[in-house]
Amino acid sequence: MLIVALSALRARWTTFVASSVALALGVGLIAAMGLGLASTLDAPERAPQRFAASPVVVMGQDTLSVDVRRGPGTARVTHRLAHPHPVDPDLLGELRGLGPLVRQGGPDAVGVDAPAATVRAVVGDRAQVLTGDERRRADPGQERDAQALISVNSLLGTAGGVSAFVSVFVVASTFAFAVALRRREFGLLRTAGATPGQIRRLLLTEALVIGTIASAAGCALGAWGAPRLARLLVAGEIAPQWFTIRADVNWPFHAAFWTGLAVALTGVWAASRRAGRIGPAEALREADVDSGTMPLGRLLAGIALAGAGIGLLVWGLATDPADLLKRKTYTTRPMVLITAVALLAPLLVRRTVRLLPLPGATGMLVRENTATSLRRTAAVAAPVLVTVALAGSLLGSARSVTASKAAEAREQTSAQLIVTGDDLKQAGVPGATLSASASTAVHVREEGTALIRSEARAVADPAAFADLARLPVAAGDLRDLDDGSIVVNEEWERHTVGERVDVWLGDGRAVTLRIAAVLATGTGSNGAYITAANAPTAPVDRIDVRIGAGAGPRVAARLRAATGGTVRPVAEWVADTHPRTGPQTRLGLLVVLGIALVYTAIALAGTLLMATAARTGELKSLRLAGATRAQVLRVVAGEALLAVAVGGVLGAAVTAVNLAGLGAALASLSAPVTIAVPWGTAGLALGACAVIAPVTALLSCPRVRR
């Protein structure tokens, strides 16, 4: 069987080029992503930066630890405080008696040149004593780097998942089409006495050989590409500057190699079962009209996946619409509908082609050939569907969520000017109403099993805040906010006006506050609100300003001089603080879309290379009927373009369903419904497909004579 498989591979190498390249690329991407993930999960230890010359660091408390239920017992959960405690002044005086002190970067920590045991004896439980590598906790970039590594982990995990999904998709599609083109060959083998089991084993052996070679090449590609991927992430400011790929891990290569082999065998398994059912009579078949393009198993699988995709969307809208706004959700859920539409493509192709009328006799021939050759059209349309649907759904969802957040921020204040800065001075301006606030956080234990951190704002003047704010209040009144109360949103476990809730403030203090008002969930930006008395160490970083009739000219200049901050009109502030899509998110999505587009190019080129080269008899009939060489080429190119258009229409339909679900989620959350369709990106992706498909078809078109 191996000898027969190798002979078939040598004789039909053009049939397997696309599958081999796609598989090698997929394995390479999985290996590179795996190496990146391994480097984020066990990042190299860095030397302390802030107090590198001090053997001991004394740091104020910067964490909150709370006991929660875990099964029959309890566990201690730790969160970082929004406002770490400074080192006590009395303690600083005692530490000066032990040795020289180093103070830099703020009052939260101090370096001490003294024995650690002596320092601990003096400090006791009034602060933390850090030695050795623990001194890194005092570095200002520690938390920022940790968040950056989480972002890298999320990006690489998503890209790896998309790579696996698209590689299975492309390999299965190209293998299935290759089997369809070889029906007469398998019919001859059956006529010669081959059993269905031998046909299946032949195809599985071919897949095993291709999978082994392509997976080995992919591992080498991954080893070459991983360091370059790390440099790209650093240059895009997604990963920390020190991020590199570890050289001492091997499991990503094992995972990538065996995944590639499994993908090859899985992709050909369904095709091999269909090939095993080919009878000897197929050796005599010469019809160009495709039959049996929708097996019962494929039909049921497509219907089941379509139902699952729509069902998940409806379930999310009914139970947790806020989850539909999360990047992980709108990145993964479209794949279910994409797979469903691809499986049902043979049913949808003919109906879609009829919706795209083409003028003239050549147009009629192109349309009828495309509608008749369902396998070829579906194989060409499927990768286009993937690219257009991913571009529309991913970028459209990201831009829509960001645009809705920006619109929500604009609607939530009646101010004309916004002053921002790190530590603003609070000063009045005659004729203007000012509402100053500071960023903080509150922590609440919900159901006794989880400690939840909620971003919050501490307002300096509750009356001015209630006057300027236009928050989506679902219950209660913002004017009731005082030092003993809190404004929460509907996501909180307890959100009944008048109810008392136990919280931990941004500096770790435990207090009990009365709920004064409840806000609608919105896009997730409606956090809690407390008064400045409950966040005394939080610096003011925003002042909302409404200009009155007696404010006079040059209000912005006076505000700038009085507060020391940046003064901007509200529209400009919204544009600066809520850009269409963040650079990190945009780079991550473009990486994912780039992967899909490369796979689409491979699938289009491979499918059309196989299909067009096998049409010698059909094209010769056209020439005998009087068609010129130019007319034949126009027909071939037109069919390729029409198949791409079919894929674009199906991809647009999937995008419309996903964005409609997102719009419904925004509406149910009482958030502004702003749907942003990425026409430019989707158009570029479709345009690239529209160039690759006809060029490949024309280059592979056999030259026939009358």
**Residues 664 and 515: beta-carbon distance below 8 Å:** no
Instruction: State the number of CA atoms in the 13 A half-sphere of 641 facing the CB.
Output: 17
Mean pLDDT of the 2-27 span:
68
Token pair of 35 as six digits: 């190496």
Determine what percent of the chain is predicted with pLDDT higher than 70. Answer: 88
Give the list of residues 6+ apart from residue 190 with CB closer than 8 angstroms, or none. Answer: 196, 199, 278, 279, 280, 282, 283
Token pair of 43 as six digits: 């990042």
- The helix (H) or strand (E) run that includes residue 459 is strand 450-459
- CA distances in angstroms from 642 to 373, 381, 512, 638, listed in the order given: 12, 9, 66, 6
Token pair of 479 as six digits: 């004017």
* One-character DSSP codes across 280-309: GGGGG----S--S-S-HHHHHHHHHHHHHH
> What is d(CA 636, CA 699) in angstroms, rounded to the nearest whole number?
10
pLDDT at 608: 78
- CA distances in angstroms from 445 to 201, 506, 584, listed in the order given: 59, 14, 32
Mean pLDDT of the 137-160 span:
73
pLDDT at 116: 85
Strand partners, 550: none
The mean pLDDT value of the chain amounts to 81
pLDDT at 1: 57
Q: What tens digit of pLDDT does each residue of 529-574 get? A: 999 999 988 899 999 988 876 555 677 788 888 888 888 888 888 8
pLDDT at 550: 57
Q: What tens digit of pLDDT does each residue of 385-409 get? A: 888 988 888 888 888 888 888 888 8
pLDDT tier at 437, thresholds 50, 70, 90:
very high
Q: Which long-range contacts (CB under 8 A, 24 or more apart) does 42-49 make?
A: 42/246, 43/149, 43/243, 44/242, 44/244, 44/246, 45/133, 46/136, 46/242, 47/133, 47/136, 48/133, 48/135, 48/136, 48/138, 48/139, 49/136, 49/139, 49/141
44 vs 378, which has greater pLDDT? 378
Torsions phi, psi for 429 (to 5 deg): -125, 120
In this predicted structure, the answer to whether residue 82 has a pLDDT above a threshold of 90 is: no
pLDDT at 142: 66
Across 356-360, 422-426, 646-650, least confident range: 356-360
pLDDT tier at 325, thresholds 50, 70, 90:
confident
Q: Are strands 485-489 and 450-459 parallel, antiparallel or unpaired?
A: unpaired
Residue 62, SS3?
coil
- CA distances in angstroms from 191 to 196, 206, 277, listed in the order given: 11, 21, 13
Torsions phi, psi for 69 (to 5 deg): -75, 135
pLDDT at 614: 65
Mean pLDDT of the 424-444 span:
86
pLDDT at 528: 92
pTM: 0.78
Q: What tens digit of pLDDT does each residue of 175-216 get? A: 777 776 777 777 777 777 778 777 778 888 888 888 888 889
Token pair of 677 as six digits: 């369709």
pLDDT at 44: 61
In this predicted structure, the answer to whether residue 36 has a pLDDT above a threshold of 60 is: yes
pLDDT tier at 488, thresholds 50, 70, 90:
very high
302 vs 294, which has greater pLDDT? 302
Residue 249, SS3?
coil
Mean pLDDT of the 585-601 span:
76
Give the list of residues 6+ apart from residue 451 with CB closer than 8 angstroms, or none. Answer: 64, 66, 68, 77, 79, 443, 444, 445
